[in-house]
Amino acid sequence: MQDTTAPNRISTTRHLHPANSITQQDIDDFQRDGVICLRGMFKPEWCDMLREASLEAMENGAGRVREPKLEPGKGRFYSNVYLSDSDERFRLLRDASPAPEIAAKLMGCDEVRFYYDQLFIKTPGTAAPTPWHNDLPFWPFAGNDLISIWIALTPVSAETSGVQYVAGSHRWNKMFRAVTPDYDPRFLDPALEECPDYGSPETPSAGKVLSWDMQPGDVLCHHPLTVHGAAGNASTTQTRVGLSIRYLGRDVQWDPRPHTMTLRRPPEVEAGEYPADDIAFPRIWDSQHGHLQFDGPAKL
C-alpha cells in the first residue's frame, strides 16, 4: 500500500495518532451522552487528502452509491460505503489513521476491528434531510461496543446540515425503524417504531438535543443506539462533506436479522458469537501493537 508518486503527500508515521489527547472527561461525556465532539483530531493533511478523494468518489459514480432522487437544481445528497475497497486514500484512513485509537479509547477496548466506511455529501441547496434514526437497526449485530467516527472534511454548521443527537438516547435500549435517505423499503422493519423528528419544534422533547459547529479535522463519535438526524444543507455556497468509519469492540455478537445491511462477506461464525473473522472484520488496532494493518512508511 505505497504510492510515493502521489503529489503533496507526507509520511503517515507522523499522523497515526490523534492530534489531540482524549481525556477521562471526554470518555465520561461519551458514556453519558452517547456522543461527543472531539476537536482537531485529524491534521489538515488528512482532511485535504480525504476531501479530495470524497469529491472524486461522488463524481465517478462507482461503488455502492445511495442517494435520493431530487428535483433538478435541488442539490445532491450522496452516500457511498466500503470506499476503502477501491481507493488507497480510504484504505489509509482504515489502516493508518487516528480513528481506531479514538474508537478504542472511547469504548474502553484493547482492540478494534474495522466494520465499514461511509461517505455523506450534501451539496449547496440540498433540502433532503437525514431522517432521524439510530444505527443498530441497520446493522447485523447485537451488543454495546460499536462506534461511529464521523470526520468533518468541510466546515459544518446548523445551516450546512450539522448532525443533531438526543443526549442519552443510547440508554433507552430502543431500536427505531431503519430509514435510508432514499427510503429503501428493504430496511423498513414493520416491527419497529418510526423515529420521531427530534429536530422539529413540534416534536415533544425527549431530552437535550446536541449539535456542534465543526471545522475540518473535528470528529463526532457516537454509540450505535444514539438517536440522530440532520436537516438539509441550506447554504448556497458550502458543500458539506462528512466521512464515517465504524469499528467493533469486544462486546459484539453476530446477529444477522432481516432488514439489515448486506455485507461484502458475512463472518464465518454462528449467530450470537463474537465476529472474530479477520477477513470480514480485520483487526486494525490493539493496545499492545498499535496499528496492526499498517506496514509503513506509507505516504499520506
Beta strand pairing call for 141-143 and 252-254:
antiparallel
pLDDT of 15: 81
Residue 2: pLDDT band (50, 70, 90) is very low
DSSP code at position 196:
P
At 297 the pLDDT is: 53
Residues 221-271 pLDDT 10s: 999 999 999 999 999 999 999 999 999 999 999 999 999 999 999 999 999
Residues 207, 172 contacting (CB under 8 angstroms): no
Q: Mean pLDDT, to the nearest integer, of 92-105?
A: 96
- Domains along the chain with CATH numbers: 21-275 (2.60.120.620)
Amino acid at 62: A
Give the β-pairing of 35-38 and 219-222: antiparallel
Is the distance from CB of 80 to CB of 96 less than 8 angstroms? no
Q: Which residues of 178-209 are buried (b: 16+ CB within 10 A; e: fewer)?
A: bbbbeeeeebebeebeebbebbeeeeeeeeeb
- Supply 102's cell numbers: 479514538
The rounded distance, in Å, linking the Cα atoms of 150 and 154 is: 12
Task: Residue 36: name the closest of 22, 20, 17, 50 by CA.
Answer: 22
Evaluated on CA atoms 227, 286, 283, 65, the torsion sign reads: positive
pTM assigned to the model: 0.93
pLDDT at residue 6, as a whole number: 39
Distance CA(77)–CA(288), nearest Å, equals: 40
